[in-house]
Structure 1
Amino acid sequence: MLHFLGWLFPSFNFLFYDSHVKEWVDELKDAVYDAEDLLDEIANQDLQRKMETDPQTSAHQVWNIFSNSLNPFADGVESRVEEIIDRLEFLAQKKDVLGLKQGVGEKLFQRWPSTSVVDESGVYGRDDNKEEIIKMLVSDNSSGNEIGVISIVGMGGIGKTTLTQLVYNDESVKKYFDLEAWVCVSEEFDLLRITKTIFEATTSRGFTSDVNDLNFLQVKLKESLNGKKFLLVLDDVWNENYNNWDRLRTPLKVGSNGSKIIVTTRSENVALVMRSVHTHRLGQLSFEDCWWLFAKHAFENGDPSAHPYLEAIGKEIVKKCQGLPLAAKTLGGLLHFKVQADEWDNILRSEMWDLPSNEILPALRLSYYHLPSHLKQCFAYCSIFPKDYQFQKERLVLLWMAEGFLQQPKSKKRMEEVGDQYFHELLSRSFFQKSSSRNSCFVMHDLVNDLAQLVSGEFCIQLGDGWGHETYEKVCHLSYYRSEYDAFERFANFIEVKRLRTLFTLQLQFLPQSYLSNRILDKLLPKFRCLRVLSLFNYKTINLPDSIGNLKHLRYLNVSHSDIKRLPETVCPLN
């Protein structure tokens, strides 16, 4: 199974280009889900047998409860196993026809290397950030003889490179340092290329494009930096390997006291690996600054006064950007020379991934591309959360555990500790952000939420009022906000869904208790035999039916803040 999961998530890199690959991925997901369900059933049967033979348990009671359970050698299980194996083998052959190779992803989009050149007139809202970084650059805050490393961390498109360009070109900075060098590192940490670029920027001896001897370059670089106070910018760093960084740093140590390195990265782990003396977490622009950035690119001379009827629509579009400079700039450029209100309104109503010539999601997809497979799965699951939804780390970890997303640790770590590690990995890479209004909660940026919905596709959905969909058969994870009274009709379209794994009630603060139709509990719930997560949070009256004991895969049940008096005895044997 792990072999096929290894194919599943790298292939997401192709989803944005080829409909045939998307169809193949959906088929593979279907097969993997079916295989997981069957393996879980067999594992449950094995557990029940152990409980039956354990003299410390009420074996006969347990066995009676599970009298209708699966026998691995009966009820057609063997044929189901063979059918799934045939499907997986067919899909493995089909991948060769599609030209897919494990661990190899198609390059997402053309990324030009950054340079130190900046148009300062097009930058808004970064004066305070600039002054803070400059103050650290010209102060002696390094540790001993070590070079002071300042890391600028933030999500893709937040403006890390632009801020660094402003700092790099500031006159006070240029006067303070003897030498300066700018290197766009990007995804591949090419030690030879980086060393060569630094050497060429800090010496007047000409280009070394024909020199590929790392030892020669490091010796010469050491000579050119000896006793000099230098500023080195390493832009767009992804490397989290300490040994790579240590090899690069070795010839730099001869620089004069006060030498500094600025690192821009999406990951706080990079900042830790590079032993940063300060980590500057770059936040979103204010609405006003984001609006003026948008206006500069959307209107002639950046002046919206000539088109007042577009200004109101434009400000609603800027709200969608949620302070992300790349989004404001891209959408503004997309609307330049468009003066019809319906064209602007179309952009406002469009999903971000449907927009033409869109650089926003490709920039964010790059972060997703670099996630390991197990984190991609955990992130995609977060598409059950609506935009601006505040969630708790502990609750999300429990959901991941229930869905089986956490890899069994080889050490003595508890699964909760593994989930905590996964969560902080996503947090450090800016997929999650701390809530500004509730200290114990986290949120996703709206555009990161868009990305989660894009990669999860039709398998994760949020049920809203008036929500419609062409097909429900692929739905595995369903979330919804409670209404005052949740009638059976609201969920009737899901009665034929075969593999629903998540039925999750989204929590709203200060919303009073709701009522839930008994028909949902008695008629609909028993049909969701693959259910792993069931949240019936804050319903006023709930009488869970005995048939809940037939939900053999159920691992998470939340009936908190409800008026439930007791749980059926059939719940007890569920694991």
Structure 2
Amino acid sequence: MTMVGELFLSAFLGLAFERLASIEIVSFFQGGKLKDDLLKKLEIKLLSINEVFNDAEERQMRDPNVKAWLDEVKDAVYEAEDLLDEIETEVCKTKSEAEFDTTSSKVRNFFTNVSVNPFEKKIESRIEDVLRKLEFLANQVELLGLKKRSGIAEKSSQRLQSSSLVDESSIYGRDVDKEVLTKFVLSDDGSGNHPSVITIVGMGGLGKTTLAQLVYSDKRMKDYFDLKAWVCVSEEFDVRRVTRAMLEAITLSKDDTRDLNTLQVKLAEKLMGRKFLLVLDDVWNENHTHWEVLQRPFCYGAPGSKILVTTRSERVASTMHSAEILNLKQLSEEDCWMLFTAHAFNKGDPFANPSLNAIGKKIVKKCKGLPLALKTLGSLLRTRLFPREWENILTSDVWNIPYDESNIIPALSLSYHYLPAHLKRCFAFCSLFPKDYEFDKEDLVMLWMAECFLQKPQTNQRIEDVGDEYFRRSTIQVFLPAIKCR
């Protein structure tokens, strides 16, 4: 999430502009003794930086000078945000105090007193300090070679925890892999009471979890195994946490037990004499001792039990003594095009807009056979019907940025980059939660409401309906696919 975190500042620039135009802020400046042009100057400086922000966001990951400039901009914008917070708080405080004054003289005096209010004097000094910082940063734009962008995003209206559910109609090119993996899982390998470990290995965005979901949901698994459980492990391999997650997945109930021994005894009792299939998704642990402790209850299961693991690391597969390893490959060119068109074109029909086909095929090649990249960019382009918009994606500098492990980052970066500002803010807020955090949609909408991230509702529309609309947007669904809905 490091890359995504570095991109989020643009979302809060948009929020700053909205707050500068709020009734509380405008009335404070108009009614007080502050310099009349301070508010306008602050808005102009932020606008001048915003004009080059799209270019800076794309270049920051390959140009350390631009990254340093963005860090300084971030500090200045956050400082401006703090000032606006204090002003709004002061206005609300003064109005609240005035409610106990029948003549409302306190409010009038706050804005009309001949003497300068101490709060105003302090705020004025701090605003001027922020303006000096922004002026310095704006003067560096030409030196850094930053270019103004049109801001397409403004004109358009931590990997999350996985689950076992899958929409098979949206999967392409994995039939052979599924059958190979199914054969491994259903095989009688004579391993006794020690379940065999089968590992899917591949880079991020390749579809390891999706393949595991396909096998897990296959009817043959239900007929062959006495019980199944799905656990998302992720980077922090805490034996107690993972053991509790396995127990809860089997019992379908929450368990607050904190003692590891008690948890493992409970788990062993549930597995006793039963043939089970356990999926451990997104495993990063390469510590053999941790794995040895975790797998102790597994030997209580019946012969033929299996552990299905997904990981990016072959060392993880070795650590877990995998009996079978499936190295997942990129999709074929034909499957890539089918997956992309299913998301990019209405009803998956590329002939509905033939002028986009040639550009689309070039974009598909840049996705390097990664299903997540194809799905992400396809969803992004679905509402963009003009060749120029597709060309902008194809020729973006983001594709030229080197990445260590996966080619998925450019696609995700582009999809975030073209989100409208109000959706960027909501997505940025989600990054405050731990990786694999399981969101509840209604709770998250309430949090967005509390942060004033939701746009004002139209006539006969509730603010909650605005939050629901954000989830119906295909672009935000690509980023937040695993939110629970009540």
Higher relative contact order (CA 8 A, sep 6+): 2
Code of the aligned partner of 2:211: L
Task: Answer yes or no: is the 8 Å Cα contact 2:197–2:308 preserved in 1.
Answer: yes
Q: 1:142 to 1:335 in 2, by over 3 A?
A: farther
Structure 2: runs of 5+ lacking an equivalent: 10-55, 70-157, 413-486
1:351, distance to aligned residue in structure 2 (A)? 3.0
> What corresponds to 1:529 in structure 2?
none
> What corresponds to 1:174 in structure 2?
222
Find the aligned partners of 1:446 and 1:249 in 2 and give their Cα distance.
34
**Which segment is superposed worse, 304-313 or 261-270?**
304-313
> What corresponds to 1:297 in structure 2?
343
> What corresponds to 2:12 in structure 1?
none
Identity of aligned residues (%): 54
> What corresponds to 2:305 in structure 1?
259
Code of the aligned partner of 1:344: W
Code of the aligned partner of 2:185: L
> What corresponds to 1:269 in structure 2?
315
1:126, distance to aligned residue in structure 2 (A)? 0.2
In structure 2, which of residues 202, 205, 210 is the aligned counterpart of residue 162 of structure 1? 210
> What corresponds to 1:226 in structure 2?
272
**Equivalent residues in 2 for 1:396-545 (5 A)?**
431=405
1:24, distance to aligned residue in structure 2 (A)? 10
1:236 correspondence with 2:282 = yes
1:183 correspondence with 2:231 = yes
Q: Could you report, residue by residue, the CA deviation over 1:130-167 in whole angstroms, capped at 9, with x for unpaired residues? A: 00011111111254542100000001000000000000
**Equivalent residues in 2 for 1:384-395 (5 A)?**
none
Find the aligned partners of 1:448 and 1:221 in 2 and give their Cα distance.
38
In structure 2, which of residues 254, 260, 272 is the aligned counterpart of residue 207 of structure 1? 254
Find the aligned partners of 2:373 and 2:342 in 1 and give their Cα distance.
13
Q: 1:242 to 1:119 in 2, by over 3 A?
A: same
Structure 2 length-normalised TM: 0.52
| Cα root mean square deviation, aligned | 3.0
Find the aligned partners of 1:145 and 1:314 in 2 and give their Cα distance.
51
Task: Answer yes or no: is the 8 Å Cα contact 2:192–2:303 preserved in 1.
Answer: no
Find the aligned partners of 1:450 and 1:199 in 2 and give their Cα distance.
37
1:261, distance to aligned residue in structure 2 (A)? 0.4
Task: Answer yes or no: is the 8 Å Cα contact 1:142–1:277 preserved in 2.
Answer: no
> What corresponds to 2:199 in structure 1?
151
Q: 1:116 to 1:446 in 2, by over 3 A?
A: closer
Q: 1:167 to 1:447 in 2, by over 3 A?
A: closer
Find the aligned partners of 2:191 and 2:243 in 1 and give their Cα distance.
23
Find the aligned partners of 2:324 and 2:274 in 1 and give their Cα distance.
22
1:321, distance to aligned residue in structure 2 (A)? 1.1
> What corresponds to 2:72 in structure 1?
none
Q: Could you report, residue by residue, the CA deviation over 1:251-293 in whole angstroms, capped at 9, with x for unpaired residues? A: 1111100000010000000000000001100000001101111
Find the aligned partners of 1:24 and 1:219 in 2 and give their Cα distance.
55
Code of the aligned partner of 1:207: K
**Equivalent residues in 2 for 1:71-86 (5 A)?**
none
Task: Answer yes or no: is the 8 Å Cα contact 1:149–1:275 preserved in 2.
Answer: yes
1:311 correspondence with 2:362 = no
> What corresponds to 1:497 in structure 2?
none
Find the aligned partners of 2:279 and 2:168 in 1 and give their Cα distance.
18
> What corresponds to 1:137 in structure 2?
185
SS in 2 for 1:118: coil
> What corresponds to 1:196 in structure 2?
244
Task: Answer yes or no: is the 8 Å Cα contact 1:177–1:231 preserved in 2.
Answer: yes
1:330 correspondence with 2:366 = no
1:120 correspondence with 2:162 = no
Q: 1:333 to 1:269 in 2, by over 3 A?
A: same
**Which segment is superposed worse, 186-195 or 147-156?**
186-195
1:313, distance to aligned residue in structure 2 (A)? 1.1
SS in 2 for 1:284: coil
Find the aligned partners of 1:125 and 1:263 in 2 and give their Cα distance.
20
> What corresponds to 1:49 in structure 2?
none
Higher helix content, 1 or 2: 2
Q: Could you report, residue by residue, the CA deviation over 1:426-452 in whole angstroms, capped at 9, with x for unpaired residues? A: xxxxx4xxxxxxxxxxxxx7668999x
Task: Answer yes or no: is the 8 Å Cα contact 1:202–1:225 preserved in 2.
Answer: no
Q: 1:263 to 1:119 in 2, by over 3 A?
A: same
Structure 1 length-normalised TM: 0.44
Structure 1: runs of 5+ lacking an equivalent: 1-10, 28-109, 355-360, 369-430, 432-444, 452-575
